[in-house]
Amino acid sequence: MGGKPINLGTDRDEAVRQVLGVNAQASSQGTVRALWDLYQQTPKWAELKERTKSDYQAYSVKLLEVMGDVPAGVIRPTDIARYLRVERAEAPVRGNREIALLSNLMNVAIERGEIDSNPCKQVKKNSEKARTEAPEPEELRSYLDWLFRGGPARRMLALMAEFAALAGSRRAEFLELQTPQIDLQGDVIRLMRAKQHGGSKKAESITMGPAMRNLAVRLLGLPRPETSLHVFINQQGNPLTESGFTSGWQRAMVDALEEGVIQRRFTFHDLRAYYTTQHKEQYGALPELHASTATTARVYDRSKIAKRNSLG
């Protein structure tokens, strides 16, 4: 200070406090919380899907609670490891997602010249066990019938679940589906595939079988405002939002378990695995969900029995 060196001692935490005091910087400058605010102003954030933004908002809660006031420059790989193994020991998968968000924030700090390397990339994430279950046809049918007996909001959830089970599409790919995309004359539904690498776009043309055509007719017959083309709408006639869907699905799943309608919980994304497994059972081949069939098999094939033919 004043051109004279200050002895910081051997206690690292105390040394950091002294440095921050000497620098006389605003307390929030360079902190994880400040980086989170900056990240939400970047072009990368603007390019994210609304579902991803919503997920990141949720991941930020615990992350900021633990690290929000910590300057990026003092975070070490050992701090990342502690967060994963200790702070999030009860939620290891969620911890991985939160550190993935922190890694994005650290990249912002690198671009701003606040740090030279990303400590998140030097630590191995918690191991994740891939999901191995998908609802059985009878189980799914019981759940859908139960939803249909509910109010308008739950009937819409049932229609979305039925669509996902029959088409295998991600929710992000059909949440904003519009009526012109359903072609009854051509027996096809046209969507855009999400999560394409390199920013490329790929259209999907889903040929409708009898069950999907039946669903499509019911969807097009739903009452909606004259000015709306959206297929999946809320009770006010507005497009169903991701947050509205998520809260409704979670409540419905809890109620279904309590009432004994289903015996085990499954996620909406498990319906993509249901589609994959049933497609393989019905047609003898996996559907084209990814550029690599191996990825589809590894992530979504939940078959319980491996079938093959003998020779001769």
Residue 57 lies in a domain: yes
Give tens-digit pLDDT for 193-235.
876 555 567 889 999 999 999 999 999 999 998 888 999 998 8
Answer whether residue 25 shows pLDDT above 60: no
Give tens-digit pLDDT for 153-172.
999 999 999 999 999 999 98
pLDDT at site 27: 47
Q: What is the mean pLDDT of the chain?
A: 90
pTM above 0.75? no
* Judgement on whether residues 52 and 157 belong to the same structural domain of the protein: no
Percent of the chain with pLDDT over 70: 94
Answer whether residue 278 shows pLDDT above 90: yes
* Judgement on whether residues 242 and 286 belong to the same structural domain of the protein: yes
pLDDT at site 23: 53
Closest CA to 164 of 104, 89, 249: 249
First vs last C-alpha separation in the chain: 88
- Could you tell me the CATH number of the domain that includes residue 46? 1.10.150.130
Closest CA to 156 of 147, 145, 143: 147
* Judgement on whether residues 178 and 141 belong to the same structural domain of the protein: yes
**Structural domain boundaries, residue 251:** 137-300
Average pLDDT estimate for 33-51: 92
* Judgement on whether residues 146 and 103 belong to the same structural domain of the protein: no
The 3-state secondary structure of 139-164 reads HHHHHHHHHHCCCHHHHHHHHHHHHH
Residue 110 lies in a domain: yes
* Judgement on whether residues 168 and 254 belong to the same structural domain of the protein: yes
Q: Quote the number of domains for the chain.
A: 2
